[in-house]
Amino acid sequence: MSEPEVLVRVEGRVGRLTLNRPQALHALTLTMCQAMTDALLAWRSDPAVSLVLLDHSGERGFCAGGDIRMLAESGAGNGRAARAFFFTEYRLDHLLFEYEKPVVAILDGVTMGGGVGLSLPARYRVATERTNFAMPETGIGLFPDVGGGWHLPHMPDQMGLWLALTGSRVKAADCELLGIATHFVDSDRIAELKAAIIADPDAIETTLKRFQGDAGSPPLAEHQDQIARIFTGDSVEGIVAALEADGSDWAKAQSAALASKSPQTLKVTLRQMAEGARAPSFADNMRMEYRIAARVVQRHDFIEGVRAVIVDKDNKPRWEPTSLAGVTPAMLDAIFAPLPPDEEWSPLA
């Protein structure tokens, strides 16, 4: 018997979900999403469980994202396994979003893509000095899914759109600034924090206060006004032009980042953020994201992006279309169009 990919158990009155796929930085598989969903459904009505603790095993990283090799292999074929994964993963993200019992997520290390989808719905989100947060999907021709269309536009001063388009990585202090982290605890006190939560889950708020450390000042604050001014409007071309007009070293670095991303994905992402900001509910946003995912996973840029960044690691993806001008409104309309009614995403009943 090999180790389970998620450790599921109840300790005291705490339901504990521990991501346990350290060889892949705990990147999510369908099995992991199903195991977490089953446990959360059982604990929802179990009076013996009063709080859920979400963490990872071992030293490195909370969760790198999804099982991206599987998704690309499936997307190159009939896409069925990829759609099944997204369907189940988004139901899990939604279940966490609607969960009545408090959830505590410990973001002690890499927290990207799918790991963001699991943790942002949690009521308490604990960062450490090892937290490394990003939505890097534009770099592999995917898009910032797992609820990105809902969470990112709700961040202050367009900084969520900046995260989404550039794929930038941020540390704990910026996570506090962005509202990603509710608390900061030094990583060498995390084991003690978990023990304290398990010993008295009802005291979660006072426990977190007692362990609260100092993340330092957020480097992103220096660029907050620039981001608010530049990362706005209804076109990626407009953002690129505003960066050029700004001309600062920081703006040049952002231009270079955008120039390396999939033009298709940049335009998909901007439209996703605009539609997600208007979505009446998280479920409506997830229905939109599932439509996008079902299409994008079978398109050239995702398969090529995974080849260049994950498989061959040459970091030289050949995007198609090659330029923003080549990505037409008709292409975007096809990616965002409703699916046949029997293929649409729906939340768990």
List residues near ligand QUE by CB under 6 A. Answer: 24-25, 27, 64-66, 68, 113, 136-137, 139-140, 142, 309-310
- Beta carbon nearer to ligand QUE, 117 or 201: 117
Instruction: Please tell me the distance from the alpha carbon of residue 52 to that of residue 219, in angstroms, as a whole number.
Output: 32
Q: What is the SS3 assignment for 129?
A: coil
Is the CB of 107 or the CB of 142 nearer to ligand QUE? Answer: 142
CB of 57 to ligand QUE, least distance (A): 15
How many CB atoms lie under 10 A from the CB of residue 66? 27
The question of whether 145 is a catalytic residue gets the answer yes
Sign of CA dihedral 286, 93, 119, 293: negative
Residue in the shown chain whose Cβ atom is closest to ligand QUE: 65
- Say which residues have a Cβ less than 8 Å from residue 81's Cβ, sequence separation at least 6: 30, 70, 71, 74
CA gyration radius, the chain: 20
Query: Of 15, 65, 75, 114, which is the active-site residue?
Result: 114
Residue with token string 């980042």:
257
Nearer to ligand QUE by C-beta: 54 or 64? 64
- Using CA atoms in the order 104, 61, 24, 311, what is the torsion angle rounded to 10 degrees? 120
Query: Which phi and psi (to 5°) does residue 9 adopt?
Result: -160, 165
User: Amino acid identity of 39?
Assistant: A
The verdict on whether 167 is a catalytic residue reads no
| Of 145, 174, 289, 304, catalytic | 145
- Which residue, 19 or 178, is less far from ligand QUE as judged by CB? 19
Q: Which of 89, 108, 137, 157 is catalytic?
A: 137
The pair of three-digit structure tokens given for residue 60, joined into one six-digit string = 């490195």
C-alpha 188/C-alpha 307 separation (Å) is 37
Alpha helices in the chain (DSSP H): 30-44, 68-76, 80-98, 114-119, 148-151, 159-166, 172-178, 190-199, 204-211, 224-230, 236-246, 249-260, 263-278, 282-296, 300-306, 329-336
Is position 147 annotated as part of the catalytic site? no
Cis previous bond, 341, omega within 30? no
Place of tokens 């930038």: 168
- Say whether 100 is catalytic: no
Minimum CB separation from ligand QUE for residue 301, in Å? 12
Phi-psi region of 158 (alpha: psi -120 to 50; beta: other; left: phi over 0): left
**Active-site annotation, residues:** 66, 114, 137, 145
